[in-house]
Structure formats: C-alpha cells, structure tokens
Amino acid sequence: MIIDIHGHYTTEPAQLHAFRDKQLASLADPARKPSPDLGISDEELVKSVQPQLKLQRDRGSDLTIFSPRASGMGHHVGNEAIGHAWSRASNDLIHRVCTLLPDNFAAVGQLPQFPGAPIENCIPELERIVRDCGFVGVNLNPDPSGGYWKVPPLTDRYWYPIYEKLVELEVPAMIHVTGSCNPAVHFTGAHYINGDTTAFMQLLQGDLFRDFPALKFVIPHGGGAVPFHWGRYRGIAQDMKKPLLGEHLLKNVFFDTCVYHLPGMECMAKVIPVDNILFASELLGAVKGIDPETGHHYDDTKRYIDQLKTLSDADRQKIFEGNARRVYPRLDAQIKARGKAGKAKATA
C-alpha cells in the first residue's frame, strides 16, 4: 500500500470559491453573507477529484491524506468569526470527499486560527473533525499572520492547549503555513519553505517534546531547508548544548518527501533517518509542469524514491506506508477496520 500523506483539495468546485467571496464581501455588506449550504452534490464532489484519482492510478499510490487548499486557509484574512465558518465549510467538504471515497482519501483538517486569538478557540473544530468526522490529522499554521511572523514560536505556551488536545486525540499536526499577504514573500516559493525551516529551528531552540513526548509534527516540503543544512542544524544544536537531533527532535518530528528533483531527495535520504521520512507529493500543488530534464512531472516524487539505491525493501515500506500508519494512528485504525491492512500487516 502506498500512502501519500500530503494532498490538498485544489480542485474544489466553484461553489466553494463563491462561498468565500460572499463571506469576505459580507465584511463590507452584511447582506451578502452566504448560506451555509454550498449546494454541491455528491456527484460534483466525486467528479472534482478525478484528477487526483487519475494521478493515484498513473503513479501507483493508493491513498492520499487530503486537506483543504493550504493557501486558501487564509488565517490572516477577515475576522475570527469568518475564519471559523470558513474552516467548517472547508473541512466539511473534505469530510464528504473522504466519506464518498474512503479507499482513496483520508481526511486532514484546517483550524480556525486567527492572529492574536487564543489557540483554545480552535479546539471545538478540532474535536468536531476528529471525533465526529473521522479526521486523522490537522494542519497547524506556525504563522497565522501570513508572512510577517507576528506570532509566538511553536515552543511558546500560547500553543500548549492545542498540543494537549492533539495528544489526547492521537492526531499529528502537519506544520503548514497558508498563503502570504506579504508582497516580499511568495507563497509556494518562499513562505512555505521558510515556514518549514523556521518551525524546525523553533523546535530545535526549545524543549517542547519534554512537555509533550507523544506530540507528533510532520514538516512538509522535505523539511524546507533543513536536510540541505543538516550539518548547520546539528552544529547549532551542539553550540546550544542541546541533545543530538535524533534524541532532541526526531522522535516527534517527521519530514515528507515533497522535493521535486532526485539530487534533493538523495540529500534527504542521506541525512534524515528512514523512520522519519513519509512519502508525499503535494498533489495537486505547487508545481504542475513536466521537467524537461526527465520528461516526467516534477511532483511525481515516487520516481525519485524509486531511484534511491541505498534503500532496502523494508526502508521503502516504511517511507511509503509504515511510517504514515505509525504517525497517523487513526488512519491505521481506519485501514484496519476496512480490512485493508496492506503491506504493514504482511510484514508485521
């Protein structure tokens, strides 16, 4: 079984965008407030994810961990009440897609974060999507100010209430920023990667996992700059008298494989332990084209992993399935409940 842990619903029906337009229009004219019913049929939903299903078939993956469009979360946009309604609408669509196609998609949600608002305010939506809707994880935005980083670091006690709930519910958080409202910072080309790098460095500086040994974070986009600068991070940790990174962070921090060329993936595989690497391709995401150097899509990341000669079959099983089922225990339970234990069962 091959699990892609990082897919976003970037093929949403137009009604969702119309809903968002009306929401934001209501800031200026309350009469434009949208109805909570988006008017999207099940047929439309299934049709909207045909591109993802085709890519699963073409590229040989089985199941995608699916969350709302990351740049669409827009935590810095509007006000907190609008953000709550927006998260609920976005998560409800994910829930419907995953309910309609449970063998292909597992749900991850967005949180109604708002800059300056207490993180506790996100707990009801987190409980709803996990307990009532079967979500297996959540995206946590380390910079709800959208590219200005006007928010305490992830190690600050500001965040502790949500960590307590994540641990209680046994769901990991992918640390994922949303779009950038900063004209100096491009979203997919700078803010996403900087978000990953900054979050990792915040965790390195602190001792968060001493307080939350069961908390699990996935850092997407291959960990931003982290594997490329692994020596720098090992050295900075050493200068700060922190434990070795394996002990300090790697029981709790995992990296996905959204790195769009072989040399980058090789670098990652050389420095990040195989137990900490989770297959992902960010479909349909940041980069849509075909690499003229290979003739294949940049984001067909499975091809790069297939080319890594140093990996054993057991290593590949971990990257493609085993690690995901360990980091997302609710996903593992869902797969087992459906009687599709996959290769993990066979090799257990």
Nearer to its own copies, 201 or 215 (CB): 201
* Residue 107 Cβ vs its own copies, minimum distance, rounded to whole Å: 26
Catalytic residue among 127, 247, 266, 282: 282
* Residue 30 Cβ vs its own copies, minimum distance, rounded to whole Å: 32
* Residue 245 Cβ vs its own copies, minimum distance, rounded to whole Å: 12
How much of the chain is helix, strand and coil, in % rounded to 5? 50, 10, 40
With CA atoms as reference, report the closest residue to 96 among 28, 44, 19. 44
Reading the block at residue 187, the tokens are 């979203």
Nearer to its own copies, 54 or 261 (CB): 261
Nearer to its own copies, 229 or 340 (CB): 229
Nearer to its own copies, 107 or 249 (CB): 249
Structure letter (DSSP) for residue 148: S
Q: How far apart are CA 165 and CA 175, in angstroms?
A: 16
* Residue 288 Cβ vs its own copies, minimum distance, rounded to whole Å: 6
Q: How many residues are given for the chain? A: 348
* Residue 4 Cβ vs its own copies, minimum distance, rounded to whole Å: 17
Q: How far apart are CA 203 and CA 156, in angstroms?
A: 10
* Residue 168 Cβ vs its own copies, minimum distance, rounded to whole Å: 26
Nearer to its own copies, 119 or 169 (CB): 119
Chain residues that interact with its own copies, rule: CB under 8 A:
142-143, 147-153, 182-186, 188-190, 193-194, 197-198, 201-202, 204-205, 221-222, 224-225, 227-236, 238-239, 259-261, 263-264, 266-268, 270-271, 286-289, 291, 298-299
Q: Is 266 a catalytic residue?
A: no
With CA atoms as reference, report the closest residue to 236 among 223, 228, 245, 224. 245
Q: How far apart are CA 167 and CA 282, in angstroms?
A: 25
CA distances from 60 to 57, 183, 257, 297, 307 (A): 5, 38, 16, 14, 15
With CA atoms as reference, report the closest residue to 327 among 246, 159, 213, 215. 215
With CA atoms as reference, report the closest residue to 141 among 106, 173, 185, 184. 173
Nearer to its own copies, 169 or 268 (CB): 268
| Edge-to-edge strand ranges of the sheet holding 3-9 | 3-9, 63-68, 105-110, 137-140, 173-175, 217-219, 253-256, 277-278
Annotated catalytic sites, by residue? Answer: 282
